[in-house]
Amino acid sequence: MTDSLVTDTSDRDERHLARMLRKKAVIDERIANSPNECGLLLVLTGNGKGKSSSAFGMLARAMGHGMQCGVVQFIKGRNSTGEELFLRRFPEQVRFHVMGEGFTWETQDRQRDIAAAEAAWAVSRQLLSDPSIGLVVLDELNIALKHGYLDLDQVLSDLQARPPMQHVVVTGRGAKPEMIELADTVTEMGMIKHAFQAGIKAQKGVEL
């Protein structure tokens, strides 16, 4: 290694160290100024893949900390998914409710979809009123609200009335502006590319 290259590497390392020290100071200050803990409402929306996957990743994280959890699936339901098959192994820690009857283009019956969504929300309200449950996943709730299957004001009111330390994750495309406004954290999944566009069907372990 030439002397000039050694000097350049050394300079880059020193600049990197200086940047990281400044960044650490900023982050440490923000952490020190954020001492509070409370139940969060997280919304995962957008057209890209990964909304439910992210929600169930958080659920696994909560389970790892010994938290009691609940799941209500609003649209999915005709076929078992990998997450359902796995989480049903832990009935003492996860209350898993599959309340949907399949995607709306498959059911083709709005009144039946409304009845299913209302039944799902009744179960959701039970979970949202139980302070022993630390995290609730309301999978595809945004879809039910988007199609007008549930009263938005009632849903928002019930979410606000939940126990103060309970976390809720809401998934689904087309999140209502009011849901986004109420949420503490909102992530929009953007689709850049999807295998289905190339004629590859949904597969176990990836989508199912």
Predicted pLDDT of residue 9: 73
Compute the distance between CA of residue 179 and CA of residue 41 in angstroms, rounded to an integer: 9
Query: What is the strand order of the sheet 185-188 is part of?
Result: 94-98, 68-73, 133-139, 167-171, 41-45, 185-188
What pLDDT does 199 receive? 82
What is the tally of helices (H) and strands (E) in the chain? Answer: 8, 6
The token pair that represents 42 in the structure block: 């997280």
Pull the structure tokens for residue 47.
């057209």
CB 136 within 8 A of CB 164: no
Chunked mean pLDDT (size 10), the chain, 208 residues? 66 82 81 81 95 95 97 80 90 92 63 91 97 97 96 98 97 97 96 79 74
pLDDT per residue over 131-179, tens digit each?
Answer: 999 999 999 999 999 999 999 999 999 999 999 999 999 999 999 999 9
Distance CA 160, CA 39 (A): 10
